Structure 1
Amino acid sequence: MRLGHDHVQVRVPATSANLGPGFDTMGLALAHHDLVQVRALGSAEVTVEVSGEGAGEVATGEDHLVVRALRLALEHVGAPLTGLHLTCTNHIPHGRGMGSSAAAVVAGLLAARMLIAEPTALDDATVLELATRLEGHPDNAAPALLGGVTIAWSGTEGPRATVLPVHDDVVPVVLVPDERCATRTARGVLPATVPHGDAAYTAGRAALLVHALCHRPDLLAEATSERLHQRYRAPVMEQTWAVVERLRAAGAAAVVSGAGPSVLVLERASDGDAGSRVLDAVLGPRDGRGRTADGWRVLRPGLDHGGATATRLPS
């Protein structure tokens, strides 16, 4: 496979996985994006310029996650491993349960798609398979790639995903704290087994959640209840769990966003400002930068229905 272009741009959304009972399966795309430009170079040099989230923290060479994903895709199709210059403008918070690593992986894979002469060699099914190989599971990669609300699973044919027809009344809101929590930390406190009753309870709520998202948003608060993972994670994100419990006690469909510590709230547009009043009552007043005294930011990005986009730019 030869390269067909040398300058591309990818725009990829933040995501929130699990949605409560849809553990490691369900996720949604948020209209809050990272932007990556990639130039293929004639030399072997690899440089990465990062602004915004992660600047001064993430790798700026071969170890950068976008570069690693791009290399994996080029190797997969037998394309030459050219030198690269990346410019990453990051808006997705790192270590907050908003899919920053999945966004980087999908960005690298789609950049490779646009660099090669035959983009169909890296179709969506292949991109999801490669992303899952890097991420470990497809719950964030699927909505980042496809947009909307997705259900992802792995079977004999590899990872697959489907997009749900979400009701227009569903409005995602994300509460982002100053603190971070590594995914490996959040997964490390999960038990190896759970009671059968808790598994059955969560399976029922996951089925109800699909119905609530597509047809009955009034059931979202009940449908987002679960017993598999969030309470076990409370010791490593006490502030997050306290906010989730207070919001749910007030009737909000609040869950830990991904591995946390951000909180996802599924509001209803038809409720007007009722959701905002609940948030204000639980979080308290915000300063001029939109932060509460405890360091929470409230994001209202809306759903991203299209998923990641990639375009070729002039050489």
Structure 2
Amino acid sequence: MRTVDIRVPATSANLGPGYDALGLALSLYDEVTATLTGERGVHVVVEGEGAGEVDPGEGHLVVKAMRVAYDRMGVPQPEGIHLHCRNRIPHARGLGSSSAAVCAGILAARALADSGENALSDDDVYALATEMEGHPDNVAPCLSGGLTVSWSDHTGLPHSLKLVPDQRIRPVVCVPSTRLSTEAARGLLPKDVPHEDASFNVGRAALLIAALTQRPEPGLLLAATEDRLHQQYRAPAMRQSADLVERLRAVGVPAVVSGAGPTVLAFSTSDSQDLIAPEVGNDWHIQQMDVDPVGANVQFPETR
């Protein structure tokens, strides 16, 4: 039997104007203990988010990612897999739960394979996770932590650059009880957008990187988190989230839809829950977090 422990952070993508490019790792984690057993079959135990809902066998996303990783490494598939998942990242809320599961599965497979990193480099892990997810904006911060900028070259190969946010940045997430799939949210986006809106977002995205890393002033963050590319088009599918973003911004809080939503992310440089709470109401779970600086963590039980 072989066992490995994987911890992966929640992430928030887009951050307003940085559509499909910017991502931030948050101090909220899923933990997966993966064991290769001597018995045939797959068994998944889930605690927390998704318990009683997700597939307890081959259909579980972590298992699927492990299978894909073993195939990519060219090593035999294990016959027996046992997973113990302790989930804290809400599902289908725009906090990167699927990216976390995919990254956890790939990293677990690599750690448990005899060939290990010789068969799958860090760049390979990133590329494979992006391939499974379809886009890199959540994958990059999940793997590396911090603030990330992601892009793909002319061959389609994904790349990312990790930046260190100012230590005063304190993200606040407002999580609703309702869910929204990424596919549904993407389906609302138009094929073409006005040149003026594209130009607007380029400037705001550049400003946001400067604000998050050098000058996290409320007024600067408020301007830097403006968006014209995606939030307005997705608003009909998450009216409560759109309304909350509008109310928070009206009182000076830099707020955006987290990823595809419906979670709302606000940037703060202090304990701002007292300012945010009156606008949010009782239908949301408010949680102030830190920026996770390291991303996914892999440990073998005997080395802890």
Common fold: TM-score over 0.5: yes
Q: Tell me, yes or no, if the aligned pair for 2:273 and 2:288 is still in contact at 8 Å.
A: no
Partner of 2:17: 21
Distance 2:274 2:43 in 1: 46
Gaps (5+ residues) in structure 1? 285-291
Partner of 2:164: 165
Kindly indicate whether residue 94 of structure 2 is the aligned counterpart of residue 97 of structure 1.
yes
Distance 1:54 1:245 in 2: 30
Q: Tell me, yes or no, if the aligned pair for 1:12 and 1:35 is still in contact at 8 Å.
A: yes
Kindly indicate whether residue 125 of structure 2 is the aligned counterpart of residue 127 of structure 1.
yes
| Mapping for residues 1-315 of structure 1, pairs under 5 Å | 6-82=2-78, 83-120=80-117, 121-155=119-153, 156=155, 158-218=157-217, 219-269=220-270, 273=271, 275-284=272-281, 292=282, 295-314=283-302
Cα distance change of structure 1 residues 227 and 145 upon mapping to structure 2, 3 Å threshold? same
Distance 2:167 2:232 in 1: 30
Give the TM-score, by structure 2 length: 0.95
Q: For 2:72, what is the secondary structure of its paired residue?
A: helix
Deviations 1:54-82 (A, max 9, x none): 01111111111000111111111112211
1:163 CA drift (Å): 0.7
Q: For 1:20, what is the secondary structure of its paired residue?
A: coil
Give the TM-score, by structure 1 length: 0.92
Amino acid at match of 2:49: E
Distance 1:276 1:157 in 2: 41
Q: For 1:310, what is the secondary structure of its paired residue?
A: strand
- The runs of at least 4 consecutive aligned structure 1 residues that moved more than 3 Å come to none
Tell me the C-alpha RMSD between the 2 structures.
1.4
Q: For 2:184, what is the secondary structure of its paired residue?
A: helix
Q: Tell me, yes or no, if the aligned pair for 1:7 and 1:314 is still in contact at 8 Å.
A: no
Q: Identity of counterpart residues, as a percentage?
A: 51
Distance 2:302 2:216 in 1: 44
1:222 CA drift (Å): 0.6
Deviations 1:35-63 (A, max 9, x none): 10111122331111111100111111111
Distance 1:165 1:262 in 2: 23
Gaps (5+ residues) in structure 2? none
